[in-house]
């Protein structure tokens, strides 16, 4: 079977990159979901301790907070991918995330208010123990999401850097084998010429016959 053209190889590379990207995103969201579980447990314990709520009521109330935070995780993911971690660190990067954390906290309060309003059937503004503590909690949740995303991106880049020498070695081996196979095909094609086959079939001339002087051969004949 012949080898595919550049278009086929490029299409295969794009499909492989897309599948790797899907695996990376799935692993990222698995990590984010796993990170929400201890936060949900922490919120539940705090509500039970501070407000004296039963476990069922506290777990449902903390679940509302976690669902709202998880819904806003995707915009944070897009924002972090758009602004990768700089090397060296820059002040503009920190300022952008300060603004992003403030927007996330405000959006988190808004989503929690919408969820609670839908549950009770009337408009409710959820500020918890107070607006300032709730905003600080929203910033803390933003740091959790952004931290998981940047840690995943750093691990992915480290894996790519580690795989680069192996990919270069594989390319060199493939190039060497291609050159060897091309040389072998050239040798076989050259050996298939008629005069080459005739030269191989012709018996070698005797060295003693070649060394005889002309008058000796004429006398012998």
pLDDT at 177 over 70: no
* CA within 13 Å, CB half, 183: 6
CA distances from 158 to 34, 71, 162, 167, 171 (A): 22, 29, 6, 14, 20
Average pLDDT value for residue range 121-127: 85
Tens of pLDDT, residue by residue over 194-208, are 545 554 555 555 544
Give me the pLDDT at residue 97, please: 93
Residues 6+ apart with CB under 8 A from 149: 28, 32, 76, 77, 80, 81
* pLDDT value of residue 34: 76
pLDDT the model gives residue 99: 95
Summary mean pLDDT of the chain:
75
Give the DSSP per-residue string, 78-133. Answer: HHHHHSPPPSS--HHHHHHHHHHHHHHHHHHHHHHHHHHHHHHTS-----TT-HHH
pTM: 0.59
Band of pLDDT at residue 219, cut at 50, 70 and 90: low
Residue 17 pLDDT:
47
Decide if pLDDT at 101 tops 50. Answer: yes
72 within 8 A of 29, measured Cβ to Cβ: no
Q: Residue 45: pLDDT band by 50, 70, 90 thresholds?
A: very high
CB atoms within 10 A of CB 18: 10
> What would the mean pLDDT of 184-189 be, rounded to a whole number?
57
Contact, 58 vs 47, CB < 8 A? yes
**Would you state the pLDDT for residue 189?**
55
pLDDT at residue number 208: 47
Question: Which one has a higher pLDDT value, 104 or 28?
Answer: 104
């Amino acid at each position: 079977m012949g080898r595919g053209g550049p278009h086929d190889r490029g299409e295969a590379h794009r499909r492989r990159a897309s599948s790797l990207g899907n695996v990376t995103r799935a692993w990222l969201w698995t990590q984010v979901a796993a990170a929400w579980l201890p936060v949900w447990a922490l919120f539940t314990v705090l509500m039970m301790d501070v407000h004296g709520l039963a476990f069922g009521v506290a777990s449902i109330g903390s679940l509302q907070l976690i669902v709202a935070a998880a819904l806003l995780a995707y915009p944070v993911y897009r924002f972090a991918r758009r602004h990768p971690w700089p090397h060296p660190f820059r002040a503009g990067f920190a300022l952008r995330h300060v603004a992003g954390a403030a927007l996330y906290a405000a959006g988190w309060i808004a989503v929690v208010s919408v969820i609670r309003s839908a549950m009770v059937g009337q408009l409710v503004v959820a500020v918890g123990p107070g607006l300032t503590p709730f905003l600080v909690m929203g910033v803390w949740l933003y740091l959790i999401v952004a931290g998981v995303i940047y840690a995943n991106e750093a691990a992915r880049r480290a894996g790519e850097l580690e795989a680069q020498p192996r990919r270069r070695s594989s390319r060199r081996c493939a190039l060497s084998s291609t050159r060897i196979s091309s040389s072998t095909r050239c040798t076989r094609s050259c050996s298939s010429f008629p005069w080459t086959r005739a030269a191989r079939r012709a018996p070698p001339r005797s060295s003693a016959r070649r060394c005889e002087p002309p008058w000796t051969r004429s006398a012998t004949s």
